[in-house]
Structure 1
Amino acid sequence: MFGKAHGFGEIRTEADFRERVPERNYEDYGNWIARVANGEKGVLPCGEVIAFECTSGTSSGAKLIPVTEGLREDFAYGMAAWLGGWHESYPEVFGGRAYWAISPPGIARGRTAGGLPVGLDGDGAYFPDAIGARLSDWLVVPRLSGGASEVFAETAEELLRTPDLSLVSVWSPTFLLCIDAEVALRRPGKTWREIWPQLALVSCWADASSARWIPRLRDRLGGVPIEPKGLLATEGVTSIPVGSARLAHECHYHEFLDEDGNHLACEKLRIGMVCEVLISTSGGLMRYRSGDLVRITGFTEGGVPEMRFLGRKGIVSDLVGEKLAEEAVAAAFSEAGVCGFLAADPDVPGYEVWMEDTRKSARVISKLLENPYFKQALALGQLAPCKPMALKEGWVQDLSAALALKRGCRIGDVKLPVLYQQQSSGEVAEWMG
């Protein structure tokens, strides 16, 4: 249906493809995806949908992403390249057991109205077939009770029963820090290197809003290398960390939009450019606007673009015209040397500065005042004075669990925001207890 509606039979060139298929975000695909979820066949191109994966954006609710056998194979190609890079750079990761946080509990899987499963069976589904079949011998699989609140303690206990742990791969560094808090209770004063001498690598998000957590994680690891993950999303793979994060050209068809919204093919990219990523995948999403912003940092010897994830496009708080962007808020906390986040309160209106050490709140606010619109809004009384709020011990776990519940996603997929839009006064305070 999608292919017929867009004249796929007459597409001969990339220019034809761009002319016939417009750029779309998730909301633009809503009707097509709803029809598939309700059981219609042949709606999207690239084969029948075999399942959906549930994901969430930084601020949005749950989204259903269609999965086809072709998309599963695309991910497997990317995984094969990634694992091959480890063989070259970190062969020791294969010398012991691996903890790979792919699908910790958070929500029930279930099925759509049309009977399609939400979530693939088993963590091996996205690995190459030859590896997926042998995962049980390699992976450490914690015995979890099913409750989101017990994930961290139960995982820590399982890892401590694994003396030959050689690899840890998670999505968010905050997820690993939550596990670490439980490890520290059981092995006080010990770093991960001291507890697991074979641990050769930790893989996690380390760019954009996740960058602020890396110094703390590095301290706790005690010298274990950290490899920033490539740009992998439920919708598709953009980059793979093979030496550096390079374009996953073997997985999907990628295009880019520059800062003015102009289309760029890969061969038009230049070092220093900031671009939004468009992907066309075997899952049926064509010219999909991912909302991910990357900076082109170089090229491989073969001319493949290398890139760094900068954050999500368009995450801006604008209560009264102040236009505070996510990257500016992240920079303010980073330069102040403190972990925390800014919570917009639409009812006041104003901002809560949630942080572990409120004595440093003036540093954060001073940096934010470099935004002239924010400074003016405060001076004119349009915004109430920023309100420092203290974060108690265990706040990372509390906020991760609250956001997983609110967004309907897995707790391991939660990326803690540095800029959060409260729905009403006191929302964050209630979560923090």
Structure 2
Amino acid sequence: MSIKGLAAKIFAKRIRKRIDTWANNPIKTQQKVFKDLLHTARDTAFGKDHCFKDIKNHKDFVKQVPIRDYEQLRPYVDRVVDGEPDILWPGKPLYFAKTSGTTSGVKYIPLTKASMPTHIKAARNAILCYIAESGKTAFVDGKMIFLQGSPELIEKNGVHVGRLSGIVAHYVPKYLQKNRMPSFETNSIDDWEKKVDAIVEETVDEDMTIISGIPPWVQMYFEKLQHKTGKQIGKLFKNFELFIYGGVNFEPYRVTFEKLIGRKVAGIELYPASEGFFAFQDKQNEKGMLLQLDSGMFYEFVKADTFFDEHPKRLTISDVEVGVNYVMLISSNAGLWAYNIGDTVQFTNTDPYRVVVSGRIKHFISAFGEHVIGKEVEQALKEGAEATGAMIKEFTVAPQINPEASELPYHEWFIEFQEEPLHIENLALQIDNSLRKQNSYYDDLIVGHILRTLKITTVPANGFNEYMKSVGKLGGQNKLPRLSNDRKIADVLTAMTTT
């Protein structure tokens, strides 16, 4: 074992102990975070407007601070972007993480001196938990790659602006700099396809041990490597041990990845976002990711099926239940308050608190009252692929409300295959049956002849990449919506498949 490996092992045990301390005292930990946030921000413009000094408990907080999304918080954010201090959090932020929203256009999410370290520590701690659990450390001496956005930043009223992954790239510890790839120059390439080609050239002859990124973009990297070398990734990178991923559910990609790699590789799932690093997988054989309760974020949860009520009930972690679909709200040391991040989660455990991301509150299909969510379609596709031998590269689903002739409406699944099943109709039936088992509303609509069983439309090779390129969202941290309640994406894909 190398000196670096030994040090990592010792450090991992220490960090695991610290994590267990707060994970085993979740209510107390969140109460402390809650009080610290309100105390620190009470003299900000937001704190004064919402009488933070008078808030004694969560009940008071609910009365004083309404749920907001980015557009509703924007009047305050715009003041921060304009250079005003002490608006949402004391002083000015260190950075703005620039993101693109479907309704808000460009969004500027503040990252403060208090919040920035939590992004770095959570990613580090995820790897350390793996070391503590497995005892493996050899991979720390190999090369590591993180497929991410450009690290180049611009300045706006004295604050640096960039993609979150690009900002985080500036915080890679010195002891990992020699191991880290790709080079700064390659990482700064804007064109995603050119960037991946350059990464392939830089890494093809290296001893890659950790590879990290959003699954569809890592898949592109693996496919280009395989095309160049004719080798499976596991044979090309003999010491490749750890795949770190997040952003989308990995399950639809698992079979394809296993074939590309050619052997089993340990994985760590992360739940990062510009608004905060919420959770990471801390155990290899436990379902769900450990919710980060001590990272300067106070969590609230609203049952997804009541979220659009006039006054939905806001719960703390002490009130949540396993298996229920919740919209997650955060109040944070970045100055976000009762903020709807747009995700829905389900708890897999409450001792300790572990979650899975079940979808987006705005990404669902309910054109006929079925309210099908992301978790359901991903599970259905997984079961269908396993039953038919299909390998899925990418997919999205939309309703077809106005079908041709006298046909009943249906859900249309646009799928790009790595390997097509022998009979696509059988895959459609398997998916449909799984979805009906999971969602009683959808089943009722099929039984009642309101909907017919779903249809699959095959998307040509690289079709989804072409779509993402056409809307300026190819690569980086951009993700294709799994579900749409309209046909904006579907119409573009339909035109693509018929030309």
Deviation at 1:175, TM superposition (A): 0.8
Say which of 212, 218, 226 aligns to 1:169: 212
CA contact (8 A) 1:351 1:386 kept: yes
SS of the residue corresponding to residue 355 of structure 2 reads strand
The corresponding residue for 2:487 is 422
The corresponding residue for 1:316 is 364
The corresponding residue for 2:396 is 341
Deviation at 1:305, TM superposition (A): 1.1
In 2 relative to 1, CA 321–111 (structure 1 residues): closer, same or farther, beyond 3 Å?
A: farther
CA contact (8 A) 1:65 1:234 kept: yes
In 2 relative to 1, CA 289–272 (structure 1 residues): closer, same or farther, beyond 3 Å?
A: same
| Structure 1: distance between partners of 2:356 and 2:456 | 32
The corresponding residue for 2:282 is 242
What is the one-letter code of the residue matched to 1:184?
A: Q
**Pairing 1:275–2:326 present:** yes
CA contact (8 A) 2:359 2:373 kept: no
**Pairing 1:354–2:418 present:** no
**Pairing 1:118–2:148 present:** no
| Structure 1: distance between partners of 2:373 and 2:114 | 37
**Pairing 1:28–2:72 present:** yes
| Structure 2: distance between partners of 1:77 and 1:152 | 27
CA contact (8 A) 1:344 1:419 kept: no
| Structure 1: distance between partners of 2:203 and 2:372 | 41
CA RMSD of aligned residues (A): 3.5
| Structure 2: distance between partners of 1:80 and 1:306 | 18
In 2 relative to 1, CA 251–39 (structure 1 residues): closer, same or farther, beyond 3 Å?
A: same
Say which of 388, 393, 397 aligns to 2:461: 393
Describe how 1:33-432 pairs up with structure 2 within 5 A. Answer: 33-56=77-100, 61-88=105-132, 89=134, 90-104=136-150, 110=154, 112=156, 114=157, 116-119=159-162, 123=166, 125=168, 132-142=173-183, 143=186, 145-162=189-206, 164-170=207-213, 172-188=214-230, 190-205=231-246, 208=249, 210-243=250-283, 244=286, 245-259=289-303, 260=306, 261-299=312-350, 303-319=351-367, 323-337=371-385, 338=390, 339=392, 340-344=395-399, 352-355=412-415, 356=417, 357=420, 359-361=423-425, 363-364=427-428, 366-367=432-433, 371-372=442-443, 375=446, 388-403=456-471, 405=472, 411-420=475-484, 421-423=486-488, 426-429=491-494
What is the one-letter code of the residue matched to 1:427?
A: V
CA contact (8 A) 1:346 1:423 kept: no
Deviation at 1:335, TM superposition (A): 2.7
| Structure 2: distance between partners of 1:388 and 1:304 | 40
Deviation at 1:429, TM superposition (A): 4.1
Deviation at 1:182, TM superposition (A): 0.5
Deviation at 1:224, TM superposition (A): 4.0
What is the one-letter code of the residue matched to 2:161?
A: V
| Structure 1: distance between partners of 2:154 and 2:47 | 29
Deviation at 1:279, TM superposition (A): 1.6
CA contact (8 A) 1:333 1:364 kept: no
- Larger RCO, structures 1/2 (Cα 8 Å, 6+ apart): 1
Q: What is the total number of aligned residue pairs between the two structures?
A: 414
CA contact (8 A) 1:256 1:275 kept: no
| Structure 2: distance between partners of 1:341 and 1:56 | 19
Which is helix-richer, 1 or 2?
2
What is the one-letter code of the residue matched to 2:211?
A: V
Deviation at 1:61, TM superposition (A): 4.9
Deviation at 1:428, TM superposition (A): 2.1
Describe how 1:2-13 pairs up with structure 2 within 5 A. Answer: 2-13=46-57
In 2 relative to 1, CA 351–111 (structure 1 residues): closer, same or farther, beyond 3 Å?
A: farther
| Structure 1: distance between partners of 2:142 and 2:218 | 19
| Structure 2: distance between partners of 1:214 and 1:61 | 32
CA contact (8 A) 1:279 1:289 kept: yes
Deviation at 1:93, TM superposition (A): 2.6
SS of the residue corresponding to residue 69 of structure 1 reads coil
In 2 relative to 1, CA 126–285 (structure 1 residues): closer, same or farther, beyond 3 Å?
A: farther
SS of the residue corresponding to residue 254 of structure 2 reads helix
What is the one-letter code of the residue matched to 1:342?
A: V
In structure 1, stretches of 5+ residues that fail to align are none
CA contact (8 A) 1:199 1:224 kept: no
What is the one-letter code of the residue matched to 2:261?
A: L
CA contact (8 A) 1:204 1:229 kept: yes
| Structure 2: distance between partners of 1:413 and 1:59 | 18
SS of the residue corresponding to residue 413 of structure 1 reads coil
| Structure 2: distance between partners of 1:117 and 1:374 | 51
Deviation at 1:255, TM superposition (A): 2.3
| Structure 1: distance between partners of 2:425 and 2:160 | 46
In structure 2, stretches of 5+ residues that fail to align are 1-44, 307-311, 404-408
What is the one-letter code of the residue matched to 2:147?
A: A
